[in-house]
Structure 1
Amino acid sequence: MSAKPRAQPWAYPRWIAHRGAGKLAPENTLAAFRLGAQHGYRMFECDAKLSADGVPFLLHDATLQRTTSGQGVAGDLAWSVLSQLDAGAWHSRSHAGEALPTLENLARFCLANDYFLNIEIKPTPGAERRTGEVVAHEAARLWAGRAVPPLLTSFQPDALAGAMHAAPALPRGLLLDSLREGWFETAQALGCAAIVCNFSLWNEELVRRVHAAGMRALSYTVNDEWAAQWLFALGTDGIITDRVDLFSPAN
C-alpha cells in the first residue's frame, strides 16, 4: 500500500492582496503594495513577465495600453523603455508617474518588511518556459537564505515546468479557471504545493481530493463576504482578494 502524500509545510497567511491592493491603487505598482500593507495585509499576489532583454517585471496584460502610457506587446520592449512608462495615471491623477516595478524592486520591499509573496508567472505568449525559468531563478536568488520563499503560480504548465527546472525547491501552484481534463495529473507531475482555483469551482469533494494529495486549496478572486465564509466552511487554505478595504487579514 502506498503512503498517503504529506502536505508540504505551509507558512503563508490565509489572506492575499490581489495585485497589491486590488483596485484601490494602480495594480502591480509599489504604490499598490504599500497600500495593501497599510490595510494590514502581509501577503501579496503579483504578475511577473519578461522584458525583451530578460528583466522580470510586474504587469498583468500581454499588452501595455490598459495600465501604462505605452502601446504594444510589453515583452517586445527592452527594460530601458519599459522603465520610463507611466503605470499610474490610468488609475488616478494622484498616482500619475508611478513606474513599473521590477520583480527585484518588489522583492526588496517584501523582504525588508517580512511580507510574503505569490508570484504569478504571466508569460508573453510563446515565452512560457523561459519566463518560468528566469522568474524562478531570480526569485531563488532574491530569497536565498530566507525561511519562507515566494509561492510561484501560473495558468501555464510550461511556465511551471520551467520554474521547477530552474528552482525546484520553490513551491509551485497550478492556477485554474476551469477543471480542464488532466489538471490533477498535471499538478502532480509539476510537484505543485497548491491548486489555485476560480473560487466558484471549489466544493467539498474537490477540497478533500486536493488535500488528500498533499496540496493546499487557494481561491481567486474573492470580493464578497458570502463567498469568503463559504470557502472557510469548505476548509480552503487561502483567499486572494481585491477588497483589502472590506476583509481584515487578521480574521
Structure 2
Amino acid sequence: MRYRPLALILAALLVTTSCGRTDTPTASASAAGWNSALPVATDKGPVAMWRLEGGFLPPGLLAIRPPRVVVYADGWAIVDAARTLRLAKADLNKLLAALDRDLSGQPATATPRPGAPVVMDAPTTVLGVRTAGGKREVRIPALDETRGSYAKALYDARDRFGRLARRITGKGQNYVSRRVRLVAEQTTLRGGKARPWPRGVPEPRAAGSPVRTRDLSGKAAMAAIRLIPRDADQRGGWRVFRARSGASLAVSWRYLLPDE
C-alpha cells in the first residue's frame, strides 16, 4: 500500500485550483496548442467516455470503479480517475470524429453475432461520444471477452480508447481533485482489530446495503486522503475501520471527476 505525503497532495491541489477549475489537472496548455483562456464547456459533461458496468467483482469495487477514460471539451482526458493529459485541439477533434463514425448507426445495446460465446459475469462495455451532431452511446456486453463477436466498428472504437488510455498513463501526470468518493463495505474481521474511525472523516450513511458511499469535499476530503490508504489499483484489501455506529467497514476512496 503506497502513501502520499499530505504536503505533496496539497501542493498539487493548489496548482489545479490556479487553473480556474477545481478538478482540472495541470498541464502545459501552450504546448497542447490551446488558448489558456479557452472556456470550459458550460455543462462540464464529457465529450467521449469509456466505462464498464457490472461484472464479477465485490460490491465495494463495483461502487468505487471510475470510468476507464473520460475526455472533456477543453481537451483534458482522465484515465481511471488517476492519470490525466490534455489533448491538442486537433487530436481531440480527430478522436471525436473517429468515434462518431465508429458508433454511428449502432444500436443502444449491441447484439453479438449468432453463435458467439456466452461469457457469464463479464462486464458490459459502454462507449460514448458527444459532438455537435448529438450524443451516441452503445452498451456492449462482454466486448473484451468475446473478440470478433460484434461489429468491427465497435472494436475500432474500443481500441481508440485503449490507445488513448496507454498514452495518458505513459505521458500524463497524476490526477488529483479536492473532492473524493468514500466507499465503505461492511465486513467481518477474522483476527486483528479494526482501527478507530479516522478523525474528521464523515461516516458513510447506511442505506440498507452492505456498501456505503459518500462524496466528500474540502477538509473532509483532505482528511480522508491523509488518513485512509487508497487502493489505487483497485485490488481490494482495504483497511478496516470501526465506525462510530459499531460496524466494521473496509474503506477506500478515489478522486471524483469534474462532472461527478
TM-score (norm 2): 0.29
Larger Rg: 2
The alignment's TM-score, normalised by the length of structure 1, stands at 0.29
Q: Which has the higher strand share?
A: 2
